Amino acid sequence: MSRTAARTDVARARLALLALAAAVLVPLVAAGPRGVLWVLLGLAGLAVAAVGLWWTLAHSGAVRVLGAVLCVTAPLTVLALYAAGGMLAPAALSLALWVLAAGAARSASASARAAPVPAPPPARPWALMNPRSGGGKVDRFRLAERARTAGVRVVLLGAGHQDVAALAEDAVRDGADLLAVAGGDGTQALVAEVAARHGLPFLVIPAGTRNHFALDLGLDRNDPAKALDALTDGVELRVDLGFAAGRVFVNNASFGTYAAVVAEPAYRDDKTRTTLRTLPGLLSGPSAPRLRLRAGGSLAEGLQAVLVSNNPYLRAVDAARPGRRERLDSGRLGVLGVRVEGAVRAAGMARGSRAAGLLRLTAGEVVVEADTPAVPAGVDGEHVLLPAPVVCRIVPGALRVRVPRAAVSGRRRSGEPDWPRVTALALGRRDDGRADDREGGGHVPLAGLFGHSDPARHPPLQAGPLADRPEPAREDGRGDHQR
């Protein structure tokens, strides 16, 4: 990192601490010692709203209606009391200063990333595209046409089931020196594993619905065609891959409540209604999942939901909206476990990451256990049934990702501020934020990644069963594979 960038980080750290101190002082100056009571009133409003949210999600009938009322009336009541006491303006100023402090702290404490390596254009690039992903982005942005113009051999997925991993393996045997995917995260994960196994670069074209992986790579999800710039003006990054029971994931594997909701047949067509209908039984009914988690020296039981991510999310809301990952090369799994069993514990969730019902940690290996032979899981948003116990692990630096040069500078910093590190920066003590190699960081030789580890701990990695492989898609004159 240059001296100018280092000085900028120090300045941001000091600004963050000053803004944080000002945010605390504003209510005290405006109301004197009573300012503490106003702060406590705001926290109480958050706790009551959390209770209302729990009742809304975990119950039905009159209790759910009461919960919805609390969710709305609690914050409105606090705002009305602030206005009546002349504290609305100080509270707004204090909140604005807190936002400024958090933003400056996030920028100052962002982890150092390895410098990207300039990448020469590929000679025989290959791309798999799903025309149905993202509401038809492949056709809307003319991705297939633009890719062919750039010299890419394009394969289009047909309407029926096709073995994505097998198609990618066929491309490798045909001499492809770059594998690309325009589709959702689940499809990307399958092709990414093939690319990692053969040591080939991988190109993400964000043509899916959410594209969390593309977002954390800094790609423009609103214009997926820009990803094709990596073919002529690209750089290469080394990123990690996660595995759950041998199934690869680029984002996360979720277990428990969210995975059970996703498994509902009606979820795809009506997500909100299906979630509200099924959550009460999943959170507090007899069908509520109870999971056990082992990660390093930590053991947790009675969890309703577990989210294991390829690198930690700095702000995890839920499996559907997990936030952002500051980096993809730490060599660590992020772990989020949730255990909420009543209104009191739900109120404690207002404390955020320090809530008693919330477990957050990082680990190189995670084991998810259940009282059933198999565990429903959502692997990069795809519902699967995995044999219990499920061993999740991460392979550091397994994947070579090709991105446009502009995407590297476009990656914005996000997540919760690392206040100890911000304080150290403000005092002139610097930490580069790199992963500790003793804890699983750093690159591992690719030759030892796939199927050569201790079989008792790590079974050979597979993209999934290749049984019932469909009839190979035929190729038309333009090089497209279709059913």
Q: What is the pLDDT of residue 180?
A: 97
Backbone φ and ψ for 338, nearest 5 degrees, come out as -125, 130
Classify the phi-psi angles of 464: left when phi > 0, otherwise alpha if psi is within -120 to 50, otherwise beta: left
| Nearest Cα to Cα of residue 138 among 201, 225, 40, 79 | 225
Question: If we measure between CA atoms, which residue out of 268, 247, 253, 398 comes closest to residue 329?
Answer: 398
Q: Where are the domains of the chain?
A: 3-109, 117-241+397-433+442-482, 249-395
Could you tell me the two tokens for 452? 């050569």
* Cis peptide, bond prior to residue 312, ω within 30 of zero: no
Q: Which residues of 148-182 are buried (b: 16+ CB within 10 A; e: fewer)?
A: beeebbbbbbbeeebbbbbbbbbbbeeebebbbbb
Structural contact between residues 60 and 38, judged by C-beta atoms closer than 8 angstroms: no
**How would you write the pLDDT of the chain (483 residues) with one tens digit per residue?**
556 767 887 888 889 999 989 988 888 888 888 878 888 888 888 888 888 887 787 677 787 888 888 889 988 998 898 888 888 888 889 889 988 988 888 777 664 445 567 889 999 999 999 998 888 999 999 999 999 999 999 999 987 678 999 999 999 999 999 999 998 888 999 999 999 999 999 999 999 877 889 988 989 888 999 999 999 999 999 999 999 998 999 999 989 876 666 555 555 555 555 455 555 554 555 555 688 999 978 888 888 888 899 999 875 444 444 567 888 999 999 998 877 664 444 444 444 444 445 788 899 999 999 888 888 898 987 888 899 899 999 999 999 999 998 877 555 444 566 677 788 888 876 544 443 333 333 333 333 333 333 333 333 323 333 223 233 333 333 333 333
Q: Which helix (H) or strand (E) holds 244?
A: strand 234-244
Task: Tell me the angle at which helices 62-84 and 35-58 cross, rounded to the nearest 10 degrees.
Answer: 160
How big is the chain by its Cα radius of gyration, in Å? 24
Domain 117-241+397-433+442-482 bears CATH identifier 3.40.50.10330: yes
Cα–Cα separations (whole angstroms), residue 259 to 108, 269, 385: 36, 16, 10
User: Distance of CA 347 to CAs 51, 61, 293, 305, 321, Å?
Assistant: 5, 21, 24, 18, 21
* Residue 320 burial by Cβ neighbours in a 10 Å radius (0-12, 13-18, 19+): middle
Full-model pTM: 0.65
* Topology annotation, domain 249-395: Tumour Suppressor Smad4 (2.60.200)
So what's the pLDDT on residue 146?
A: 96
> Residue 326's CB: how many other CB atoms inside 10 A?
25
